[in-house]
Amino acid sequence: MKIEAIAVDIDGTITDDTRKICISAIESLRAAEDKGIPTIIVTGNVVNYAYAAEVLIGCSGGLVAENGGMIFKEGYNDNAVEILVNREYIENADKHLKEKLGDEYAKNASHDNNYRATEIVFYKTIKKEMIEDALKDYEHVDELEIYDSGFALHVTDKRVNKGSSLRRLCEQNGINMENVMAIGDSENDEEFLKEAGVKIAVGNADDSLKKISTYVCENNFGDGVAEAITKFALEE
């Protein structure tokens, strides 16, 4: 199979567990780009963080940010970020959680929520069950989902995810999903791996991700990314 594009997560995939980016991952992604295979960043991070990573690494395929809440690519959508969620549900859920959680919200909410447009994020210093309990009487609770990215808890619009948004970005840019290699490490990567023709779990990935993968890397983090890219995209 000829790989048309590589879709890759950031935290725990191209970075290690301290969030330091692995040089081997950068080198392999750049080698793929040099071969004409674009990389798409697919992440739960905010769009400006994802865009900075894309530029610094040298990726050209665009990005999916905030767990699918928004997509962006140079030259696509008049160079504007495309938001794919109902922001009213999220904004009202944020107000509801502030009221219900009180001091627990202030202590545990991510410092980058001020920059997020499509989800609410909490550090894992708070239990997922506490957030679920606080949302029980929210009128649009059935439209929400809580993802554990391994690094944080994300309250999102359940109608979009990394997979649905990756498919939209690829289809809008003429990329066949069957020819996409997707690489991830955690439960919130399952949707975008399922959409791809080649599904890769790095060595440190959750067991649930390994079960659905085409290939499980022997190496962890960015070294696993380099292993997979070499095996599926760079070798003739």
Just list the catalytic residues.
Answer: 9
C-alpha dist (Å) from residue 232 to 7, 61, 130, 168: 13, 18, 42, 23
Q: State the residue for tokens 């048309």.
A: 4
90 contacts 78 by C-beta, under 8 angstroms: no
Q: Is the dihedral of CA 211, 215, 216, 220 positive or negative?
A: negative
**CA-based nearest residue to 118, from 80, 144, 137, 97:** 144
Name the β-bridge partners of 148: 153
Q: How many Å apart are CA 208 and CA 185, to the nearest integer?
A: 10
Q: How many CB atoms lie within 10 A of CB 2?
A: 7
Q: How many Å apart are CA 210 and CA 40, to the nearest integer?
A: 21
**CA-based nearest residue to 62, from 199, 155, 157, 168:** 168
Which residues, including other chains, have CB under 8 Å from residue 20's CB and lie 6 or more apart?
A: none
Q: How many CB atoms lie within 10 A of CB 101?
A: 20
